[in-house]
Amino acid sequence: MTVNDPFSSSLQLTDEGRLKHFLTLDGLDRDLLTDILDTADSFIEVGARSIKKVPLLRGRTVVNLFFEASTRTRSTFELAAKRLSADVLNLDISTSATSKGETLSDTLLNLEAMASDMFVVRHSQSGAPHFIAETVTPGVAIINAGDGRHAHPTQAMLDMLTIRQHKGSFSGLRVAVVGDILHSRVARSQIRALNTLGVEEIRVIAPATLLPNDVESLGCKVEYDMARGLRDIDVIIMLRLQRERMEGALLPSEREFYRLYGLNQDKLALANPGCIVMHPGPINRGVEIESAVADGPQSVILSQVTNGIAVRMAVMSMAMSGQVSERSRMAAEGAGV
Ligand code: CP
């Protein structure tokens, strides 16, 4: 099912359909998502070399702009940019002039004045990377590293790469996404990616208080009971409770949530044999997942982290290449060619 994402637009594609920004999976077709996965696959080998570098972004400057906390995303974007031979600037927002009242727009203007080629942006406001992409100098690529509840497209793509590695393809797969769907940008991007790539079924499993009103319109089925919901499932994606985005009491208690929706070995046994267990992190042991499952043989949680580097290398190199072709087109138009 196709859903209109308010932040979706042709903004992130060139006229030839190539990536120039990476803001959302909305509006990206199966061929493009598959191209990202195939490109990421080709970068996995780079991580196994003794010298983990390719020259694709040599001479380019990538700025990591994280207005929200991050361990995995920020580190893997930094490693990905370095493996592509870019110069990387990590702006520490807590000690930047933002704390003196400088606006996001002014911060960006100043960083653009340093001839930056790409901004990797995480922000608590949905749509912040989209806003930046609309206003940034042509030729500068914007990559969304997670905005509010809206989207976390590189997380979804590294999850898709991990699923493809373990399951071979997407066709026929039944995927359960469990936990706090309401506040999750990851779930929104995952559901979009899974639908585009053609899985058999997506089931969201959560209490009604942690589901968006229109959740079925995202292209998934709803199940409130975890034991019923895990039947015939090939991939389980667990999500943490995102307390930083919760307003009011949405749960009776963490203990009750764990009893009903936490993944333990008994519940995992209800899914298909060979079912893989995923989690974007950070995991909260004993809140949404038991340690024996998180660290167990069906868990691919750390493979997700490793795959984050290859996927981010793919997205950054593709967006930079799209910007270069866009610049050539504009120069040719300017010269009346
Ligand atoms: N999965 C994820 O976005 O983790 P971080 O918040 O640590 O980047």
How far is it, in rounded angstroms, from Cα 322 to Cα 309?
20
Q: Give mean pLDDT, residues 100-127.
A: 94
Q: Is the pLDDT at 4 greater than 90, yes or no?
A: no
Name the residue among 135, 134, 133 with its Cα closest to residue 143: 133
pLDDT given for residue 246 in this prediction: 73
Beta carbons within 10 angstroms of residue 213's beta carbon: 8
Residues 6+ apart with CB under 8 A from 57: 81, 84, 85, 86, 117, 316, 317, 320
Structure tokens at 159: 């999850």
- Whose CA is closest to atom 1 on ligand 1? 280
Task: Assess whether pLDDT exceeds 90 at residue 243.
Answer: no
| Residue 248 pLDDT | 67
The 10 Å Cβ neighbour count of residue 19 is 25
Q: Rounded to the nearest 5°, which phi and psi values hold at 16? A: -90, 5
124 lines ligand 1 (CB under 6 A): no
The residue whose C-alpha atom lies closest to atom 6 belonging to ligand 1 is: 70
Give how far Cα 299 sits from Cα of 52, 164, 173, 213, 294, Å. Answer: 26, 15, 17, 30, 6
pLDDT on residue 9: 56
The alpha carbon of residue 212 and the mean position of all alpha carbons in its chain are separated, in whole angstroms, by 19
Cα(24)–Cα(307) distance, rounded to whole angstroms?
A: 19
* Residue pLDDT, tens place only, 193-232: 999 999 999 999 999 999 999 999 999 999 999 999 999 9
Establish whether residue 146 lines the binding site of ligand 1, counting it when its CB lies within 6 angstroms of any ligand atom.
yes
Task: Tell me, using a 6 A CB cutoff, whether residue 166 lines ligand 1.
Answer: no
How far, in Å, is the centroid of ligand 1 from the Cα of 129?
Answer: 17
Q: Are 304 and 278 in contact (CB under 8 A)?
A: yes
User: Would you give the DSSP letter of residue 282?
Assistant: -
pLDDT of residue 24: 97
92-126 burial by CB neighbour count: b if 16+ within 10 A, else e? ebeeeebeeeeebeebbeebbeeebbbbbbbbeee
- Measure CA 31 to chain center: 18
Best probe residue, ligand 1, of 72, 90, 120 (max atoms within 8 Å of C-beta): 72
Which residue puts its alpha carbon closest to atom 5 of ligand 1? 70
pTM of the model: 0.94
CB of 308 shorter than 6 A to ligand 1 = no
pLDDT at 7 over 70: no
Tokens of 119: 């901004």
Q: Is the pLDDT of residue 336 over 80?
A: no
Distance 325 CA to ligand 1 centre (A): 31
Using a 6 Å cutoff on CB, does residue 307 contact ligand 1? no
Q: What is the pLDDT of residues 252-278, one digit of tens each?
A: 788 999 999 999 999 999 999 999 999
| 62 C-beta neighbours (distance < 10 Å), count | 25
Verify whether ligand 1 is closer than 6 Å to residue 75 (CB atom): no
Mean pLDDT of the chain, nearest integer: 93
Please give the pLDDT value at position 323.
95
Query: What's the pLDDT score for residue 330?
Result: 82
Q: pLDDT digit string (tens) for 309-331?
A: 999 999 999 999 999 988 888 88
pLDDT band at 332 (very low <50, low <70, confident <90, very high): confident
Ligand 1: centre distance to CA 69 (Å)? 8
Distance, in Å, from the CA atom of 248 to the CA atom of 252, rounded to the nearest integer, reads 11
What percentage of the chain carries pLDDT values higher than 90?
86
pLDDT number for residue 334: 79
Cβ–ligand 1 distance for 280 under 6 Å, the answer: yes
Retrieve residue 85's tokens. Answer: 């031979």
Residue to mutate (ligand 1; options 68, 71, 157, 240; most atoms within 8 A of CB) = 71
pLDDT 10s digits, 93-111: 888 898 899 998 999 999 9
Question: CA-CA distance, 262 to 239, in Å (whole number)?
Answer: 10
Tell me what pLDDT residue 127 has: 95
Which residue has a Cα nearest atom 3 of ligand 1? Answer: 73
Q: What is the pLDDT of residues 271-306, one digit of tens each?
A: 999 999 999 999 999 999 999 999 999 999 999 999
pLDDT at res. 2:
39
> Angle at the Cα of 242 (from 239 to 243), degrees rounded to 5?
145
Asked whether 281 lines ligand 1 (CB < 6 A), one says yes
pLDDT score, position 83: 98
So what's the pLDDT on residue 5? 54
CB distance 198 to 228 below 8 Å: no
| pLDDT the model gives residue 8 | 53
Nearest C-alpha neighbor of 201 from the set 224, 227, 230, 180 = 230
Does residue 70 have its Cβ closer than 6 Å to ligand 1? yes
pLDDT of 327: 84
